Structure 1
Amino acid sequence: MDQEKVNILLVDDQPAKLLAYEVILKDLGENLVIASSGREALEVLLKTEIAVILVDVCMPELDGFELAAMIREHPRFQKTAMIFISAIQVSDIDRLRGYEMGAVDYVPVPVVPEVLRAKIKVFAELYRKTRELERLNHELEDRVRARTAELESSTAKLRESEQRRSMAIAAGKMGSWDWDWISGDWMWDEGQYRIFGVGPGSFEVNPANVQALLHPDDVDQLRKAVAEFNMGTRAYETEFRIVRPDGEVRWCVGTAAATVDRSGRVVRVSGVTVDITERKRAEERQNLLAREVDHRAKNALALAQSIVRLTRADEVKAYVNAVEGRINALARVHTILSLSSWQGAELSKLIDEELAPYSLGDQIRLAGPEVQLLPATAQTLALALHELFTNSAKYGALSTRSGRLAIDWRVEDGLLTLSWEESGGPLVMTPKSRGFGTRSLLASIESQLGGQAQFDWRAEGLLCRLEVPLTRKASTTALGKFDSGGSAELQRASG
């Protein structure tokens, strides 16, 4: 017998991509409904029963996240499956946002036809089976209404239990069990065995064997549950951990209900176990992410505060330009770090970002290997390079077309040595005192990174040598110790 076709809604603002999705999905034999915008998709949903929605994340006017939020607000579509397609690299925060909006999965671009068809097929079949189950339930309810109220209640409970059990087996995250309180016999379904990581052929279900799989710290609370049933409790729910035979620890939530005879004595206890490990891990990741964001925000604010507090200038405009330049340098390195998920930054990229504001043609020569910097090291070095470029553009070799700048670097035994050599510019004289830029460069390189900064004010141009250990993690961020006034580090740098 031919199965009933279901409607699949394809939402994308680009006709070519919609046509590609139609070609990929036509072999499924389902009804494909097209919408070229979020608003058109909402109109289709109000008129048509949709099994699965395939929606592009990046759309003008109403993007995929906004569309998902509006769909979920309508009672009819709170359980409709939505799959996001994203042509950009999706971060963990964007994934969490998508799942919060109701997405059931992500499909990256370029789309793999077999993967997309498989995902759509699963949710289309789930929708179809759900509809079939709903029709069967209606038929069963019509027959049950003719029976007594007691039989109707019993049948409804059985149906609900069977639905949970079927879904648990299909998803592999839930199992059910039954314990004969009188004889001591146990019964586990397939899902229960799967959660505990054992098989019915090799594992005998009895109190001793079950207890051996429980986390030692959670055994007492389950003993307490058994005792409470003996004292009249009829239902119990708790979270606990299990240790599978392979050593993997899983988090579960267990719900149990007792059946009693006419005298009130417990004769049977039945329950459901749900594997919530992924939820627990997601909560841990979310907490970790929140702490990391808080830490980075505080560091960035402390650094900005230090820059504003310690910058000096003879007039307001010069002060504003100096502050903006240093904060922009910090923003540029943050952009580089964010693209690498804060794993680090290439030294050459830091230099390229600082060069971007200047049109210097062939005035600058760069030479050195690829060097990956730790985040804190990258922040400090970016600010140091900013000060060197700024001073050179104002007073040094980069202030004239005839000036030349050579930047060379090498790495030996975990030590980065960077040489900054200017020539061909205005005549250089050794400064009588050091400005904030020079003082902060010295303090950050030496104090924050444990390195050295040497300046040779030659007449033909500045020669600067920076030595930075790559194996030592810099403390917080550059200038991080200046936020309380900076007296100790500044005195040391200017002494």
Structure 2
Amino acid sequence: MDHEKVNILLVDDQPAKLLAYEVILKDLGENLVIASSGREALEVLLKTEIAVILVDVCMPELDGFELAAMIREHPRFQKTAMIFISAIQVSDIDRLRGYEMGAVDYVPVPVVPEVLRAKIKVFAELYRKTRELERLNRELEDRVRARTAELENSTAKLRESEQRRSMAIAAGKMGSWDWDWISGDWMWDEGQYRIFGVSPESFEVNPANVQALLHPDDVDQLRKAIAEFNRGTRAYETEFRIMRPDGEVRWCVGTAAATVDDSGRVVRVSGVTVDITERKRAEERQNLLAREVDHRAKNALALAQSIVRLTRADEVKAYVNAVEGRINALARVHTILSLSSWQGAELSRLIDEELAPYSLGGQIVLAGPEVQLLPTTAQTLALALHELFTNSAKYGALSTRSGRLTIGWQVEEQLLTLSWEESGGPLVMPPKSRGFGTRSLLASVESQLGGQARFDWRAEGLLCRLEVPLTRKTGATAPSGKFEDAGSAELQRASG
């Protein structure tokens, strides 16, 4: 065809659809420019004159409506024809929204090739005619400019102002800038000032001041970008950090494009800055959560492994019951900790959870203040309480209706003292062997928590006292007296 080709920008995140549009429109004989995302489309617009934009409404990150709004923010593209393609039923409200964003037409899916070609051809011809009129107008302006120096200067300033305008300002997260490579002058829009935490009234934009706001570890990124443009690079993108005057560190991604003269020399660099701090923080939280989950899973598996390895029983059924009971106790305390986001657990809640499987009426008396336990302390005491309740229900005061159990606790100087006193049950005799309960109490309460576990095997019922620091400490030693060290006996009884 005997006419100057124009550029038609096709924007869609699906390669198959872009290929289909190319096939449909290739007979028009125009230049088809491809962009697979909204950001890529913005980069193309910075460097290329576009006659018509064909954009998909539904795209990730930046949908068609948002892209249209950002394009219309720039004076160069306020009259650029935009046609929306929608694969969903478009309501009147959606159409109004699209027209408000600057769309000139809608094309539904499935696309009718003849209709799409006709629409594109109309707007391409309109653009061509408009460009012809613009060229004639520029020729007229050149003649007037030769006669009127004041008008020439005014027109040049207007063009420079238009080039320096922000490409997009979206909720303070984006900003645009322009750097005159020859004179060294900088121009920032409102969004750029906002991202850097400075104001146009108090901040002079120059290389030294800009570099002072960059994170020291990322200053080399600026030097690298300058070197790349000097070597002929036309576009550059990088992530970097800034340090606002108030001390806050923000993450940004910057995209820059160079403008060259007829000799290929860089004369101007323009770019867009996007604040990605929230995304970076979300990634850090996700990584921290993954490490925390891994750590807690390993701890839980280690406890479960110890339970399985140390549990002893003469019969398989007894062994299975013992292991299941201890694993369930561990699961219950994990549930409590999960509900508190692993901040801790109330001691009374741990006791209530262990009491739940038993129907004991008024056999148990609880007395003590509200005590918040650290996660590690809660896990340890949950297993200890499970052993005490299990053995009491099998051999001690809770094995008979006449038995009584009193659990009391108090806190003095960050030391938790819990007493377990049984009475009214079968005759108690000191145990002859050490089992899982005793070994776990000794290893966890004394070695891990720096506390003490002591037992008095009275004939009328077991008296046990646990002393646990609410803050981590080590080096605790068991006192002498009628209380027997927890490592010397198993939590069992023999009825007489």
Closer, same or farther: CA 461–307 of 1 in aligned 2, 3 Å: same
CA contact (8 A) 1:376 1:474 kept: no
1:22-74 deviation per Cα after TM superposition (whole angstroms, max 9, x unaligned) = 99999999999999999999999999999999999999999999999999999
Superposed CA offset, 1:403-424 (max 9, x none): 0000000011111000000000
SS at match of 1:159: helix
Higher mean C-alpha deviation, range 128-137 or range 180-189: 128-137
Q: 1:335 is paired with a residue of what secondary structure?
A: helix
Rate the CA distance shift 1:140–1:222 in 2: closer, same or farther, 3 A. farther
Q: Aligned equivalents of 1:47 and 1:197: distance in 2?
A: 29
Moved more, 236-245 or 128-137: 128-137
Q: Deviations over 1:87-133 (max 9, x none)?
A: 99999999999999999999999999999999999999999999999
With over 3 angstroms needed to count, the CA separation of the structure-2 counterparts of 1:110 and 1:133, relative to structure 1, is same
Task: Report if the CA contact (8 A) 1:165-1:174 is conserved.
Answer: no
Cα deviation for residue 209 of structure 1 reads 1.1
Q: How does 1:26-105 map to 2 (within 5 A)?
A: none
Distance change >3 Å, CA 52–CA 270, structure 1 → 2 = closer
Deviation at 1:433, TM superposition (A): 1.8
Distance 1:239 1:407, change over 3 A: same
Shift of 1:225: 1.0
Q: Is the 8 A contact 2:84 2:106 kept in 1?
A: yes
Q: Answer whether contact 2:409 2:416 (CA < 8 A) is retained.
A: yes
Note if contact 1:376-1:475 (Cα within 8 Å) is conserved in structure 2.
no
How far did 1:299 drift? 0.9
Paired-residue identity, %: 95
Per-residue Cα deviation, 1:77-96 (whole angstroms, up to 9, x for no partner): 99999999999999999999
103-112 vs 407-416, which moves further: 103-112
Give the 3-state SS of the residue equivalent to 2:167 in structure 1.
Answer: helix
CA contact (8 A) 1:85 1:106 kept: yes
- Structure 2 unaligned residues grouped into runs of 5+: none
Describe the shift of the 1:159–1:437 C-alpha distance in structure 2 as closer, same or farther (beyond 3 A): farther
With 14-23 and 297-306 compared, the bigger mean Cα shift is at 14-23
Contact 2:431 2:493 in 1 (8 A): no
Structure-2 change in CA distance of 1:37 and 1:169 (3 Å)? closer
Q: Distance in 1 between matches of 2:165 and 2:461?
A: 79
Residue 443 of structure 1 contacts residue 493 of structure 1 at CA under 8 Å; is this kept in 2? no
Look up the SS of the partner of 2:139 in the other structure: helix
RMSD over aligned Cα atoms: 15.5
Per-residue deviation, 1:346: 0.4
Q: Secondary structure at the match of 1:203?
A: coil
- Mapped to 2, the partners of 1:389 and 1:256 lie a distance apart of 69
Instruction: Look up the SS of the partner of 1:200 in the other structure.
Output: coil
Moved more, 400-409 or 47-56: 47-56
Using a 3 Å threshold, how does the CA distance of structure 1 residues 413 and 250 change in structure 2: closer, same or farther?
Answer: same
Give the CA deviation at 1:219: 1.1
Whether the aligned pair in 1 keeps the contact of 2:455 and 2:483 (CA below 8 Å) is no
Measured after TM superposition, the shift of residue 493 of structure 1 is 20
- The CA deviation at 1:227 is 1.8
> CA shift at 1:182, angstroms?
1.4
Q: Structure 1 unaligned runs (5+)?
A: none
Runs of 4 or more above 3 Å deviation: 1-168, 473-478, 480-495
| Alignment partners' CA distance in 2, 1:319 and 1:290 | 34
Is 1:449–1:475's contact at 8 Å kept on the other side of the alignment? no
Structure 1 residue 320: deviation in Å?
Answer: 0.5
SS at match of 1:462: strand
SS at match of 1:493: coil
Q: Give the equivalent residue in structure 2 for 1:306.
A: 306
CA distance, structure 2, for counterparts of residue 306 and residue 91 of structure 1: 63
Distance in 1, Cα, partners of 2:250 & 2:391: 58
Distance 1:91 1:372 in 2: 56
Residues 46 and 390 (structure 1), Cα distance of their counterparts in 2 relative to 1, 3 Å cut:
farther
Q: How many pairs are equivalent?
A: 494
* Distance (whole Å) between structure 2 residues aligned to residue 300 and residue 21 of structure 1: 56
344-353 or 178-187, larger mean C-alpha shift: 178-187
TM-score with structure 2 setting the length: 0.64
| 448-457 vs 7-16, which moves further | 7-16
Give CA-to-partner distance per residue, 1:375-411, whole Å, 9 cap, x none.
0010000000000000000000000001000000001
Counterparts of 2:112 and 2:396, CA distance in 1: 55
Q: What displacement does 1:337 show?
A: 0.1
1:19 and 1:215 map into 2 onto residues whose CA distance is 43
Deviates more, 1:389-398 or 1:25-34: 25-34
TM-score (normalizing by structure 1): 0.64
Aligned to 2:407: 407
